Structure 1
């Protein structure tokens, strides 16, 4: 990754938005269990420990929500993936050493429902980052070093 704002695939955006919705519901549920300041302070140590634990959980949820909101804002700033150079959010067709071709999506987080997702920090994803159509990339596979040719960006035939 470049260190700057990175584009985001539609699938990754949807996954983050789902996680945000779930976290906000969870945060609301935890928040209503916390006592307001100045209320009855006669609880025992177990009640106080439970209250402290819920406060810690609320802080964790707030941090994760802020992180995800920031990532969505960064993706908005980054705009659409480049049509010329492979980056996060790109769809790339590659031809492997055995002649097989596969279209993959370069993403930040693996989606369980997207079998064609390749994360940018995986061996293949890292090798593809910054490459262009026609480039040969080399990466470390389970069976040892291998290579693949970037056939096109934007899906089969290079369509965006």
Structure 2
């Protein structure tokens, strides 16, 4: 079970950062769903010359706004996927975005976790880079111990392994 989860945008410092294969597949799935939804919304938009009552016009404006929001989100995901391709694979010498690290927590439990940008609700192995645990682990190497805040107080995690 992940110790921390949440949502965040691209790259911790705005730079192109690598993502794991799992995260890439999730972004690609989201992109495909958004494109399908965009097609459905676009198909409902009528001819601009059609006359209708104000309710019809308001509904048409709402669908146009929905289409714009979908276009913005699609562009955001496409940009993130391009950036991650430029960034290359996750590093294996220090913990970074896209890394998979095995850590030992203060209670002696161990867990393999991925440092990512967006944690899906059901993905218990993904820790976001802007969560307390994610921020604490970034930039650390095998053998190093970090402290971080939890809802129950301070905890520690020791990096045992780092993979891409």
* Residue correspondence of structure 1 range 108-119 to structure 2 within 5 A: 108-119=117-128
Instruction: Kindly indicate whether residue 104 of structure 2 is the aligned counterpart of residue 131 of structure 1.
Output: no
- Name the CA distance, whole Å, in 2 between partners of 1:55 and 1:65: 15
* Structure number with higher relative contact order (C-alpha < 8 Å, ≥ 6 residues apart): 2
* Structure 2 spans left out of the alignment, 5+ residues: 1-11
Q: Is the 8 A contact 1:95 1:151 kept in 2?
A: yes
1:12-57 Cα distance to aligned partner (Å, 9 max, x none): 11111111111111111111111234x33x2111111111111111
How many residues are aligned here? Answer: 153
* Coordinate RMSD, CA, aligned: 1.4
TM-score normalised per structure 1: 0.89
- The one of 115, 130, 150 aligned to 1:106: 115
Q: Which has the larger radius of gyration?
A: 1
Q: Which runs of 4+ in 1 moved over 3 A?
A: none
For 1:153, the equivalent position in structure 2 comes to 162
Instruction: Kindly indicate whether residue 6 of structure 2 is the aligned counterpart of residue 10 of structure 1.
Output: no
* Structure 1 spans left out of the alignment, 5+ residues: 155-159
**Secondary structure, aligned partner of 2:140:** coil
Displacement of 1:137 in angstroms is 0.6
Q: Is the 8 A contact 1:8 1:75 kept in 2?
A: yes
